[in-house]
Structure 1
Amino acid sequence: MTFKCWCGVAGGKPLRTVDVARESGYSVQQVRDLERLGVLPPAARSANGYRCYTPAHVRALRAYRGLAGAVGPVEARQLLARVRTQTLAEAAAAISEVHVRLARERDEALRAREALRAIQAGAGAGGSEREGDAMTITELAGALGVRPSTLRFWEQEGLIAPERVTSLRARRYGLAAVRAARVVAALRSSGYGIPAVREIMGSLDRLDGLEETGRVLGRRLDRIAARTVALLRAGADLAAVCGS
């Protein structure tokens, strides 16, 4: 389909809203909404008020689709709006941080699954725990990427049960508590509320509870993989946005 070059775009004809929608897979209204929300740079306007887009707008929408699949729509909008104003080095670093975060989430989920298998096998019980396996609250919070106050809250809610040592009653997390905390962290990251996590953790002494928790962690790993693939698919378009 041909149409008049309203905006005088050098090297090619401008794209109408319907053209951008067709190329990006969004509806016409979604294209307008995403421009209003800052996902797209403002489109030029022709003399009669029509929007005039370029292939850069299509790339930005494709980049947004992949980024939204990786981090969610709200953060994707904020990130794209930010990288358009940053230097190439800054924008590349911002996108790299998303890759790093997904890799960290995957590692945490894998550790939680290993912890669950150890719980299932009864490993770490009795005298098999070594002194070096224990963690302070600061060490465990750092390992899980949460605040110490979060661990205290989980304790109050009956999700984990640390030991207490010294006259100051400083918390000491033995191997069993560390494993439980890893499972709790993975469940919370999967979107489970405190009551649901409490129920799941209370079921770990049953075979069906262990199996269901294993399925939960498996689904989390699958979702992280899907988010990673979405980010990889958006790679070329994100690079174009960062380099524009």
Structure 2
Amino acid sequence: MRPTDLARRHGISTQAVRNYEADGCLPPAERTPSGYRVYTEAHAAALDAYLALVRAYGHAVGGRIMNALHAGALDDALTAVDRGHAQSLRDRETLDAVRGAVGHLLEHPAEDSGTAPGARTVGELAHRLGVTRATLRNWEGAGILTPARDPATGHRVYGADDVRDAELAHLLRRGGYPLDRIAEVVRQIHTAGGTEALATALESWEERLTARRLAMLDASARLGHYLEIHPLQP
């Protein structure tokens, strides 16, 4: 095949084909005596695999995988694939944790503060949750809580959002989640604008995650086909 044939087949430009070859995402093309590139079905399969990897993992990871294969480093390529699947699993678990936590918080909203509207001291919040003050400070250190400070005393003051985040952390800790994962869930809630807003965003989040997981399956199949017709060189 000519570069134009390969480009047309995949809906990209001929320059993109040349760039992918130069970047190591395609195996080197043979040349005619006059210097023109000649591509084969192996190049078409490599391009199929690379474009599918891009959809599943992004350009950087897709490029690393193809370059590793063409360098004969199969283990490095498979490790990159494994890491992508591991991240997908963590994302799925985070989604499930967020859904469960948001459902709980919507069913059991935080009560009004006993000190000032929407504010609690560290002792009051610790008592409310049945945890120690040191636990709350650990959650703060992990980025889960970001309490304000009383300008007069310098003491921590927990607002309504802090109380919500603390209750969320308490719930997830009882479920065995580590602090870094809980901090990730809290960030998702803050990005969405609160628990109610996040609840409405969960469906689209799941759709995107499912689409990515299916893209990974497609990429694996195309990568396997490429390796069948183009065995790695030692």
1:221 aligns with 2:206: yes
Note if contact 1:108-1:186 (Cα within 8 Å) is conserved in structure 2. no
1:200 aligns with 2:193: yes
Which of residues 126, 141, 146 is equivalent to 1:155? Answer: 146
The one-letter code sitting in structure 1 at the alignment partner of 2:42 is A
Note if contact 1:115-1:183 (Cα within 8 Å) is conserved in structure 2. no
1:170 is matched with which residue? none
Listed as ranges, the matches of 1:10-89 within 5 Å are 15-89=1-75
Any idea what the Cα deviations from partners look like across 1:185-220, whole Å, max 9, x if unmatched? 435xxxxxxxx72x713xx4xxxxx0x312322212
Any idea what the Cα deviations from partners look like across 1:104-160, whole Å, max 9, x if unmatched? 1111112111111111111797989566xx97888x79xxxxxx66x17x7279997
* Change over 3 Å in CA distance of 1:57–1:130 after alignment to 2: farther
Note if contact 1:159-1:184 (Cα within 8 Å) is conserved in structure 2. no
Measured after TM superposition, the shift of residue 17 of structure 1 is 0.8
Note if contact 1:116-1:183 (Cα within 8 Å) is conserved in structure 2. no
Which of residues 87, 90, 99 is equivalent to 2:85? Answer: 99
Q: Which moved more, 1:214-223 or 1:225-234?
A: 214-223
The one-letter code sitting in structure 2 at the alignment partner of 1:234 is A
Identity of aligned residues (%): 28
Aligned to 1:49, what secondary structure does the other structure show? coil
The separation in 1 between residues aligned to 2:33 and 2:26, in whole angstroms, is: 21
Aligned to 1:91, what secondary structure does the other structure show? helix
Any idea what the Cα deviations from partners look like across 1:10-31, whole Å, max 9, x if unmatched? xxxxx21122123333332321
| Residue ranges of structure 1 left out of the alignment (5+ in a row) | 1-14, 142-147, 163-172, 188-195, 205-209
* Change over 3 Å in CA distance of 1:216–1:50 after alignment to 2: same
1:184 is matched with which residue? 186
* Change over 3 Å in CA distance of 1:81–1:183 after alignment to 2: same
Any idea what the Cα deviations from partners look like across 1:52-90, whole Å, max 9, x if unmatched? 112221112111222111222233222322233244344
Note if contact 1:84-1:241 (Cα within 8 Å) is conserved in structure 2. no
The two structures have a TM-score, normalised by structure 2, of: 0.65
The one-letter code sitting in structure 2 at the alignment partner of 1:22 is R
Q: Which moved more, 1:121-130 or 1:230-239?
A: 121-130
Note if contact 1:112-1:183 (Cα within 8 Å) is conserved in structure 2. yes
* Change over 3 Å in CA distance of 1:185–1:60 after alignment to 2: farther
Provide the aligned C-alpha RMSD in A: 3.8
Aligned to 1:155, what secondary structure does the other structure show? coil
The one-letter code sitting in structure 1 at the alignment partner of 2:19 is D
The one-letter code sitting in structure 2 at the alignment partner of 1:23 is R
Larger-gyration structure (1/2): 2
The separation in 2 between residues aligned to 1:89 and 1:75, in whole angstroms, is: 14
Aligned to 1:66, what secondary structure does the other structure show? helix
The separation in 2 between residues aligned to 1:21 and 1:159, in whole angstroms, is: 56
The separation in 2 between residues aligned to 1:159 and 1:71, in whole angstroms, is: 38
Aligned to 2:45, what secondary structure does the other structure show? helix
| Residue ranges of structure 2 left out of the alignment (5+ in a row) | 112-124, 149-158, 173-181
* Change over 3 Å in CA distance of 1:226–1:104 after alignment to 2: same
Equivalent residue pairs, number: 194
